[in-house]
Every structure is written in structure tokens, then in C-alpha cells.
């Protein structure tokens, strides 16, 4: 059919006035009548409704959106005019018809020249958003003689279109024009960047991204880290360099509608049959072990780490208290270990199987790194860019080479791991982004290999406050053990030879993925027995720690609660059982017996995680005594060299220990430097 603007408008007015939904309600008529009570300037139309009403019109809209959408907007104003002419007049210029749920979705990777100037639907992750700026849409120019000429700023160029000639009859001015900013019409304008979602990315490919223009009332409808469906028109934009446009164009999407992808739509991916399969699996004897054995079947052994990873992927629900504060439900785990022990392999697997999983390196590949950054675009706009933990909001961030992270991230990560937000205040942008993510991190030892004779903090270059925000920490050591070596070798060789897993995982990849999505919606209740188990273990830990130590903090108890709830979810327990609690206690206990062992006494001492082992306490006191003797009555400064010599005479210290104790005293502010190499007690 041949469509004219007037015809399109008439058909669409009829549609808005007469369309009845399944409840026999005048769906769009109602929406139009509700506009005056809101700040909305959008009329949101389901594409399928239009398709059902007039297939031909709907198809033509997709092919020639510019022509059709402006007629649609006119139709919307005309419909509103019947209801409320005063209001229609007020928002005449701003009212937009926005389309959701187009019948076909294109991947960002699939956007080619064939999509240019077409209306498309894409899904993606918002990685950047700019500040808001006013954009001139109808510029008023005042000529030398004071007449005004309006020039509509259409098209994709970035430069302001100027009049060629004053429009006032008899004036004829062609050169001297000045912009009148009071008479010029502006709209709100924002640029966001949308990137392919990791789960839709073909393996081994770099994600494709697009700049998207948002105008009018849809600005600020998405934040960095959000996942969105986006309806828009693909435009080719010429780049202007030194006043010349180039042959090579940039593509950009002009957004028509932005809609958040909800968690719920992900949950709907689990079908009835899958739900039945999941329930059957969970009821089998040994279900938990089967599930653990299904995690990363390419990796031999590592059952403990696989169990921990499974619990992390499932997590526990976040709780909001009556005063609005929240209790973190996500579990954070750190793996420290020798190279070549499949740490990276496990992280990559988790990023693939966990919903909203993301794999990244501590070094980060963007300016935003692990948290967020403010960057300046070529066009001078300030952009807020989301880093890995924000992009993995409501999911799992697998961070490899965690010890190599940048200093900015090191300090900003405390907030992520406790408050689960990232705050930014830079370059005029002030924002708090959500980072409700679980962190599975892997770090390499400082000396390349884990030194079993040293405590964890000497093995891994991470600050104490970060370390203590992990619910579980594991040390993975590559020990020569012939039986184990043979098993790993056979496992790897078999996989190569047969291109399959030596022993098939009890639950295959796709179902495990669905399993995790499914159980994440459960909210098991803590029983009295489970509570007793957890609290008695916690109190035992507190009692065993020496009285002047505060190392065992309530954080440990919170960690155990999260782990036991995750385990209950996995087995579809409506209530957290004593057995679930015992599993959590067991994991914490296994960790303490490795990570928290003070290598100088070979005893479990949680203090080593805080760089305050009991064994060093005696040393610190001895060192302080020596220092006091050296300063004497007159309180003169002590030279470090002299201190080391003196301290060696006590016979309690090696030179290394003496230096360490001295550094600790300095760092903790017990002593301070008066001039180079000379110290005084504070």
C-alpha cells in the first residue's frame, strides 16, 4: 500500500482510539487519558498489538521509521486533543510514540548496512552513560536588523545549521546572524553506550558496542550496569574533521524506547519440564555430591573449590531491614595458589554457567577497571563508565589476577564487597551505582609459588581489609604427588583424545545453568537447629581466639549464614537444616585449618588474616621494650640501623623479623620518623 503522512496518521488515530486488548479494554485510549496526570511524554505501544491490527502498517513502520514515527506522534497529539486540548497543546512538541517488543531482535553484532535507517530491537548491557546536555532542535537566529529566523536542526550532523538568508521580507541579510538562546528550542540529550551481553557473545570474540542517543523523557532511563532492550533507528553519522566530512561514517542508534531486562524475564527461561527435572534431581540420594561433581567437569579433583563455587553461584537472598539498610546475601571467595592449578579455568567456567556471570582480569581492560570511572568523550561530554563489578550487578564477577588490580580499584573495592555499591564523584558527575555481585577471585603468590612456611599475608599482596571481606579463602598448592599427577595427566589426555569428559558430569551444562537460575528464587528459612549449630561454632571460635584479639568478627557468622542458606537452596530445602549449617561450618573449618595457620607456631590463629598473629605479639612487645631502652629518659630519636643491631642481641629475632616488626610499628603509628632513618615513639 502507498502510505502518505496523512494516511498513516489517520490509521494510527483509529488504532489508538479503537484498539481493544484481551480484556476488551481500550488499552491506548486509557493510556492517552492518563498522560495529563504524569510527567511522561511517552505513549508506549506494543508492536504485536499494531501487527495484529494492521500487519502492513507495522512492517512499513519497521522499514521507514522516520516517516511513520513522526506521523504516529501527530496521531498521539490528535488523540490527546480530544481528551484534553489544553494539555495536548502543552506537550504537543514533546509527545512521542515509543514501540516495545518488536517481533524480531537483532544482535548488536548483526547490525550491518542493511539495518541503516530501520527500526530495530537489540538487547545489551549499558556500559557508559553521559551527563545530560540540552540539544538545540529549533534554533532561533537573529539577523543584523533584529529579525528572527528559525532553522530546524534535523539530520545527524553535529554542527549547528545556520540560515542562508533572513526570512523576513525585504531584509535579505545573509551573513550576520546571532543565535538567540532564549527563543531556541532545546530537548534533553544524553549518549549511552550499549554493549553485547557476555552470555550472548560468541566464544573468543570481543564484544560489539554502539553509541545510543537518548532524547526527551527517556534520558536517564538506564544506568551503567543495566541490561536493556532497546528499540531504535540505526543512523550513519558522518565524521567532521577540519570542516570536511569523510567517506567513512560512524553508526549510532537513535533510541525510541529503552526497557530494563528484569530478573523475572530470566527466571521465565526455566520451562516446566526443566523445573520437574530439577525437582527430581534435588530429591535423589547424593544430590549435593552430584551437583558438585557437575561443576567444571574439565577440571580433575578440586572438589572443595567446586563446592565453594557452586555455593557462590547460588548465594543467599539479600535482606532489607525496616530502616532500609540491607544485609548482603552474595558470597565472595578468593583462591590463592600456585600457577597452573586450574584457577583461571574454574573462574572461566563459573562465568559461563552462572547467570549474569562475567570474567575479567584484575588489571581490567577498560578505564573503569573493576569499579567505575569518569571519562571524557571526544565531543567533550563527560561519561560515567561501569567497571566489571557494576556490569556483573545481580550476577557473579570472576576476577582473575586479583592481586594485580589497580590502586584506584583496590580502595574502591571495599565499598563493593561490603555495601555492594560503587560511588563516583568526579568531573561533575556524582553517582552511586549498584554492584550487587558475588566475587570469585584468583590471586597468584608474590614469589610465583606459594611458600608454605610463610603466612598468607606474606604470600599474597593484598591489603587486610580486602582479604577479610571474603567469606572463604582457599590456598591451592601444586604439590608433587605421583598418584595425583597420574590422575590429572590421564584426565587431560582423555579429554584430548576423546574430545569429551572422561566421566560424564551427572548434570549437563545447560541443565545446571537452569538449576542455578531456578534455585536462586528460593528463600529458605533458618531453623532453630541450624541457628544453634552456627552460633555455637562461632562462639567456639571467639573463645579460642585470645581475649585481646578481635579477629573473629561477626562477619564470620554472616558468612556461615550465607553459605548454609545457599546449600539449603541447592537442595530445595524450604528451611535451612542442621545439615546445611554443618556444611557451612565444615567449609569455614577447612579454610581455617589452611589459611589461618600461623606458620611459626603451626597453630590455627585467625590473627594471621589480620597481620596480627599471637606469635608476633610477643615479638612486638620485646621490640618496643628495646626501642624504649634506646630512646632513654631524654627521648632522643633512634636510628633504624642501631635498632636492628640492638634487637639482634636479644636473640629473639632474625634480621628479617626485626625489619618486619619495625615496619609494622611504623605503619601502625607506634613510632614515627623525625628525619631520615631516625625514629621516635609517638
Q: How far is the CB of 352 from ligand ADP (least distance, A)?
A: 14
Our CB check for ligand ADP shows the closer of 325 and 482 to be 482
CB of 340 to Mg ion, least distance (A): 8
State the residue for C-alpha cell 590473627: 607
Which does residue 300 touch among ligand ADP, Mg ion, none (CB within 5 to 8 A, set by kind)?
ligand ADP
Strand (E) or helix (H) holding 330: none
Contact (CB, 8 A) for 502 and 490: yes
DSSP β-ladder status, 209-215 and 244-260: parallel
344 binds Mg ion (CB under 5 A): yes
> 358: helix, coil or strand?
strand
Least distance (Å) between residue 343 CB and ligand ADP:
3
Residue whose Cβ sits closest to Mg ion:
344
Taking the complex as a whole, how short is the minimal distance between the CB of residue 348 and ligand ADP, in angstroms? 8
| Max Cα–Cα distance, the chain, nearest Å | 104
Distance CA(84)–CA(307), nearest Å, equals 62
Question: Binds 488, which of ligand ADP, Mg ion, none (CB < 5 to 8 A, cut-off by type)?
Answer: ligand ADP
Query: Residue 301 binds which entry of ligand ADP, Mg ion, none, with Cβ cut-offs from 5 to 8 Å by kind?
Result: ligand ADP
Contact residues for 86 (Cβ-Cβ < 8 A; gap 6+): none
Looking at the Cβ atoms of 109 and 352, the one nearer to Mg ion is 352
Name which of 252 and 404 has its Cβ closer to ligand ADP: 404
Indicate which of ligand ADP, Mg ion, none lies near residue 342 (CB less than 5 to 8 Å, by partner kind).
ligand ADP
| DSSP characters over 443-479 | E--TTSS--TTS-HHHHS---HHHHTT-SEEEEE---
Query: Judged by CB under 5 A, how many residues of this single chain contact Mg ion?
Result: 1
- Contact residues toward ligand ADP (CB under 6 A) are 299-302, 339-345, 488, 491-492
CB 337 to ligand ADP: min, Å: 6
> What's 652's DSSP letter?
S
Q: Which does 438 bind (CB under 5 to 8 A by kind): ligand ADP, Mg ion, none?
A: none
- Minimum distance of Mg ion from residue 305's CB (angstroms): 14
Distance CA 126, CA 196 (A): 9
What CA–CA distance (Å, rounded) separates 214 from 254? Answer: 7
- Judged by beta carbon, residue 179 or residue 488, the one nearer ligand ADP is 488
Instruction: Find the shortest distance in angstroms from Cβ 361 to Mg ion.
Output: 9
In eight-state DSSP terms, residue 136 is E
Binding partner of residue 418 among ligand ADP, Mg ion, none, CB cut-off 5 to 8 Å per kind: none
Taking the C-alpha atoms of residue 393 and residue 262, their distance in angstroms, rounded to an integer, is: 12
- Pick from ligand ADP, Mg ion, none: which does 340 bind, CB < 5 to 8 A by kind? ligand ADP
d(CA 226, CA 45): 22
**Shortest gap between Cβ of 370 and ligand ADP (angstroms)?**
18
Q: Is 602 left (phi over 0), alpha (psi -120 to 50) or beta?
A: left
473 contacts 467 by C-beta, under 8 angstroms: yes
Q: Which is nearer to ligand ADP, 488 or 622 (CB)?
A: 488
Give the strands of the sheet with 678-681, arranged side by side: 638-639, 678-681, 671-675
Grid cell digits, residue 631: 630512646
Nearer to Mg ion, 400 or 580 (CB): 400
Closer CB to ligand ADP, 185 or 345, in the complex: 345
For Mg ion, which is the closer residue by CB, 445 or 524?
A: 445
Q: Which is nearer to ligand ADP, 436 or 491 (CB)?
A: 491
For the bound state, the minimum distance from the C-beta of residue 400 to Mg ion, rounded and expressed in Å, comes to: 6
The residues of the shown chain that bind Mg ion, judged by CB under 5 A, are: 344
Amino acid at each position: 500500500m502507498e502510505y502518505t503522512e496523512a494516511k498513516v496518521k489517520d490509521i494510527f488515530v483509529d488504532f489508538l482510539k479503537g484498539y481493544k486488548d484481551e480484556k476488551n479494554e481500550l488499552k491506548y485510549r486509557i493510556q492517552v487519558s492518563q498522560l495529563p496526570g504524569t510527567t511522561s511524554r511517552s505513549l508506549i505501544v506494543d508492536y504485536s498489538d499494531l501487527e495484529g491490527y494492521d500487519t502492513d502498517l507495522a512492517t512499513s513502520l519497521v522499514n521507514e521509521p522516520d516517516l511513520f514515527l513522526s506521523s504516529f506522534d501527530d496521531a498521539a497529539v490528535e488523540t490527546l486533543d480530544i481528551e484534553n486540548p489544553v494539555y495536548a497543546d502543552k506537550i504537543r512538541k514533546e509527545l512521542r510514540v515509543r514501540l516495545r517488543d518488536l517481533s524480531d531482535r537483532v544482535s548488536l553484532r548483526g547490525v550491518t548496512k542493511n539495518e541503516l535507517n530501520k527500526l530495530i530491537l537489540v538487547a545489551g548491557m549499558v556500559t557508559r552513560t553521559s551527563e545530560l546536555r540540552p540539544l538545540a532542535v529549533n534554533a532561533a537566529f537573529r539577523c543584523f536588523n533584529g529579525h528572527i529566523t528559525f532553522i530546524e536542526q534535523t539530520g545527524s550532523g553535529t554542527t549547528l545549521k545556520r540560515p542562508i538568508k533572513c526570512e523576513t521580507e525585504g531584509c535579505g541579510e545573509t551573513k550576520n546572524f546571532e543565535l538567540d538562546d532564549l527563543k531556541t528550542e532545546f530537548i534533553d540529550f544524553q549518549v549511552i553506550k550499549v554493549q553485547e551481553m557476555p552470555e550472548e557473545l560468541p566464544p573468543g570474540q570481543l564484544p560489539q558496542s554502539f553509541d545510543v542517543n537518548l532524547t526527551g523523557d527517556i534520558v536517564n532511563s538506564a544506568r551503567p550496569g543495566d541490561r536493556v532492550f532497546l528499540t531504535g533507528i540505526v543512523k550513519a553519522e558522518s565524521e567532521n574533521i577540519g570542516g570536511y566530512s569523510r567517506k567513512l561514517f560512524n553508526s549510532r542508534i537513535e533510541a525510541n524506547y529503552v526497557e530494563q531486562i528484569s530478573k523475572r524475564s530470566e527466571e521465565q527461561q526455566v520451562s516446566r519440564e526443566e523445573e520437574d527435572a530439577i525437582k527430581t534431581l534435588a530429591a535423589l540420594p547424593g544430590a549435593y555430591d552430584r551437583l558438585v561433581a557437575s561443576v567444571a567437569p574439565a577440571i580433575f579433583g578440586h572438589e572443595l573449590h567446586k563446592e565453594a563455587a557452586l555455593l557462590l553461584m547460588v548465594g543467599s537472598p539479600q535482606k532489607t531491614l525496616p530502616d532500609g539498610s540491607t544485609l548482603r546475601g552474595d558470597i565472595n571467595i578468593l583462591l590463592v595458589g600456585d600457577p597452573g592449578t586450574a584457577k583461571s579455568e574454574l573462574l572461566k567456567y563459573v562465568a559461563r554457567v552462572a547467570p549474569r556471570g562475567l570474567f575479567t582480569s584484575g588489571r581490567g581492560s577498560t578505564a573503569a577497571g573493576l569499579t567505575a570511572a569518569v571519562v571524557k568523550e571526544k565531543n567533550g561530554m563527560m561519561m560515567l563508565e561501569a567497571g566489571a563489578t557494576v556490569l556483573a550487578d545481580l550476577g557473579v564477577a570472576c576476577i582473575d589476577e586479583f592481586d594485580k588490580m589497580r590502586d584506584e580499584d583496590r580502595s574502591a573495592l571495599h565499598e563493593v564487597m561490603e555495601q555492594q555499591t560503587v560511588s563516583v564523584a568526579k568531573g561533575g558527575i556524582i553517582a552511586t551505582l549498584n554492584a550487587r555481585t558475588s566475587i570469585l577471585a584468583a590471586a597468584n603468590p608474590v614469589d610465583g609459588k606459594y611458600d608454605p612456611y610463610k603466612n598468607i599475608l606474606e604470600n599474597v599482596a593484598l591489603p587486610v581489609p580486602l582479604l577479610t571481606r571474603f567469606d572463604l579463602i582457599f590456598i591451592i598448592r601444586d604439590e608433587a604427588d605421583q598418584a595425583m599427577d597420574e590422575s590429572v595427566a590421564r584426565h587431560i589426555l582423555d579429554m584430548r583424545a576423546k574430545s569429551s569428559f572422561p566421566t560424564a558430569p551427572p548434570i549437563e551444562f545447560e541443565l545446571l545453568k537452569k538449576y542455578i537460575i531456578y534455585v536462586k528464587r528460593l528463600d529458605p528459612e533458618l531453623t532453630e537447629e541450624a541457628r544453634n549449630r552456627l552460633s555455637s561454632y562461632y562462639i567456639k571460635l571467639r573463645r579460642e581466639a585470645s581475649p585481646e584479639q578481635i579477629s573473629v568478627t561477626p562477619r564470620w557468622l554472616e558468612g556461615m549464614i550465607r553459605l548454609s542458606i545457599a546449600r539449603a537452596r541447592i537442595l530445595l530445602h524450604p528451611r535451612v537444616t542442621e545439615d546445611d549449617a554443618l556444611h557451612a561450618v565444615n567449609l569455614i573449618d577447612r579454610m581455617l585449618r589452611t589459611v589461618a595457620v600461623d606458620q611459626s607456631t603451626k597453630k590455627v590463629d585467625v590473627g594471621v588474616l589480620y597481620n596480627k598473629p599471637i606469635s608476633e605479639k610477643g615479638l612486638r612487645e620485646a621490640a618496643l621494650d628495646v626501642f624504649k631502652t634506646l630512646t632513654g629518659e631524654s627521648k632522643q630519636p633512634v636510628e633504624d640501623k642501631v635498632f636492628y643491631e640492638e634487637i639482634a642481641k636479644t636473640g629473639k629475632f632474625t634480621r628479617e623479623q626485626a625489619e618486619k616488626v619495625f615496619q609494622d610499628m611504623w605503619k601502625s603509628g607506634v613510632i614515627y620518623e623525625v628525619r631520615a632513618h631516625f625514629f621516635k615513639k609517638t
